[in-house]
Amino acid sequence: MKSLPLLRTFIRENASTFISMLLLVVVPVVVSSTAAVVLYHYEGLLQDLSAWEMLLYFAVISVTMALALTPTTFIALISGFYIGWSGFAGIVVSYGIAALLGYSIARFIDHGKMMSFLNRFENARNLMQELRGESWSLIFLTRISPVLPFALMNFVLSLLQIERRKFFLASIVGMLPRTLFFFWVGTQARDVVQALQNPDSGRGGQILMVALIVISIGGLYFLFDRALKRALRKAAAKSE
């Protein structure tokens, strides 16, 4: 029964964080659907961009991805279709910038409240410390999955207060496999509707997506299991 008041306190003290997390899941779906309709009616909108227009495009998508307005898969597909391989490096860097912006926004919204609450409990505090020590692997495994929302993971990972440079680099490396794939799918599409409606490119694409999900889930399970065991051993050692 003691756990119920504790849960209420946890939810009440972190309400703004939970609401933000919910919006980070819902908003990208709504905005990307709207953007898809606009691109369908104005298919030439992003074609033949000049160098300055392309830089502006990269800056805008960095912000929209950070704010969870556009999913990363959506951006990779339309960028591959409209810009082609000449813009691939810019997309990769934009993902890293978006990750940093999302990280900073999450830290501003949360103000360390959730971590302060968790630090009241020794096992939770020890677990967070262990996960922070595995931060590179943790970021990579969350980024490589095509089903874990990019902006939501920015928020979740920011709670560990990971060093920004590591967060930037690990995000780029983790995003690279699926970014490369969806960008390539975009370059092969005959029109933007085909790119958005049929992004898996047949059985090979489905196998790749399943493989990335399995690697992500399996890796995260192993990482959390090892971190939890270490945290419990640390707590047991202190109690002796």
Check residue 2 and give its pLDDT.
47
User: Could you tell me if residue 5 is inside a domain?
Assistant: no
For residue range 140-163, what is the model confidence (pLDDT) as tens digits? 999 998 888 888 888 888 877 788
Say yes or no to pLDDT of 186 above 90. no
The stretch 80-89 carries a mean pLDDT of 89
User: Quick one: DSSP state of residue 154?
Assistant: H
The stretch 103-120 carries a mean pLDDT of 72
User: Could you tell me if residue 191 is inside a domain?
Assistant: yes
Say yes or no to pLDDT of 117 above 70. no
Say yes or no to pLDDT of 51 above 50. yes
CA atoms within 13 A on the CB side of 60: 9
Least confident of 43-47, 53-57, 60-64, 163-167: 43-47
Q: How confident is the model at residue 202 (pLDDT cuts 50, 70, 90)?
A: low
Interatomic CA distance for residues 73 and 166, integer angstroms: 23
Higher pLDDT, 62 or 240: 62
Nearest residue to 235 (alpha-carbon basis) of 84, 129, 100, 105: 129
Q: What is the pTM of this model?
A: 0.75
User: Could you tell me if residue 163 is inside a domain?
Assistant: yes
User: Could you tell me if residue 7 is inside a domain?
Assistant: no
Q: How confident is the model at residue 1 (pLDDT cuts 50, 70, 90)?
A: very low
Q: What is the span of the domain harbouring residue 35?
A: 13-239
Q: How confident is the model at residue 119 (pLDDT cuts 50, 70, 90)?
A: low
User: Could you tell me if residue 127 is inside a domain?
Assistant: yes
For the chain, the domain total comes to 1
User: Could you tell me if residue 1 is inside a domain?
Assistant: no
Grouping H, G, I as helix, E, B as strand and the rest as coil, residue 192 is helix
User: Could you tell me if residue 110 is inside a domain?
Assistant: yes
Q: How confident is the model at residue 16 (pLDDT cuts 50, 70, 90)?
A: low
Say yes or no to pLDDT of 41 above 70. no
Say yes or no to pLDDT of 36 above 50. yes
The alpha carbon dihedral of 222, 224, 229, 230 has a sign of positive
Average pLDDT over the chain, rounded to an integer: 78
Q: Which two tokens stand for residue 226?
A: 């090892």
Check residue 199 and give its pLDDT.
60
